[in-house]
């Protein structure tokens, strides 16, 4: 972990001291805030239930359980075991970062933001958007930008979001497999 820590600190410093395009300063802090996506989540839930009725409600429940599991694994199990301090709370590093949001008291590794959003993106890609390749990529790119925005604002290292993304994607695949395997319907794809 020490070699990863050294690389992470070098990468985040390079990002914040040179590769940090100011044109994104007004966009990425907003983009990473999960509260800003609540209207999209509500619209997605409404669309699924309206379009597929009981099947849509089933997918909403399994998606919620999938994201909940990803959050629990990342934030409640792994973070306390690893105990890594956020870059924005690390003395000697904090002063060199271009912080655009508050830091928060939580731990850093893995990123629960990345885990949650990749779990949802992969779940949606393998169920609701299974036959819509463009939408699969849209939700994955959406999760990736949210994750990278965590590095942009100084709350996470690159390995935090990589690990969170891998955890989330794995749990998203599991959730989609369970949703498709134990569904009363032949497919979970929304037509």
Classified as helix, coil or strand, 186 is coil
CA distance 4 to 13: 14
Q: Would you kindly state where each structural domain of the chain is located, as residue ranges?
A: 37-181
pLDDT tens string for the chain (191 positions)?
Answer: 677 777 877 777 777 777 777 777 777 777 788 788 889 889 988 988 888 788 888 888 999 999 999 999 999 999 999 988 888 888 877 777 777 777 877 888 999 989 999 999 999 999 888 788 898 899 999 999 889 888 888 888 889 999 999 999 999 999 999 888 876 655 544 44
Closest to 161 measured CA to CA, from 28, 23, 21:
28
The answer to whether the peptide bond before residue 110 is cis (omega within 30 degrees of 0) is: yes
CATH (residue range 37-181): 1.20.144.10
Other residues' Cβ atoms within 10 Å of the Cβ of residue 154: 25
Instruction: Write down the residue that tokens 């940090």 correspond to.
Output: 20
Quote the pTM value. Answer: 0.85
């Amino acid at each position: 972990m020490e070699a990863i820590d050294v690389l992470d600190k070098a990468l985040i410093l390079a990002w914040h001291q040179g590769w940090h395009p100011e044109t994104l300063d007004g966009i990425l802090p907003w983009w990473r805030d999960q509260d800003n996506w609540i209207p999209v989540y509500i619209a997605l839930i409404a669309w699924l239930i309206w379009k597929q009725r009981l099947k849509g409600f089933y997918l909403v429940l399994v998606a919620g359980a999938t994201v909940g599991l990803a959050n629990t694994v990342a934030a409640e199990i792994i973070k306390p075991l690893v105990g890594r301090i956020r870059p924005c709370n690390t003395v000697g590093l904090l002063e060199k970062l271009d912080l655009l949001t508050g830091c928060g008291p939580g731990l850093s590794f893995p990123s629960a933001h990345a885990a949650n959003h990749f779990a949802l993106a992969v779940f949606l890609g393998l169920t609701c958007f299974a036959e819509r390749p463009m939408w699969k990529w849209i939700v994955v790119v959406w999760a990736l930008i949210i994750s990278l925005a965590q590095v942009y604002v100084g709350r996470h290292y690159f390995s935090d979001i990589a690990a969170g993304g891998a955890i989330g994607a794995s749990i998203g695949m599991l959730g989609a497999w369970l949703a498709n395997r134990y569904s009363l319907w032949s497919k979970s794809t929304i037509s």
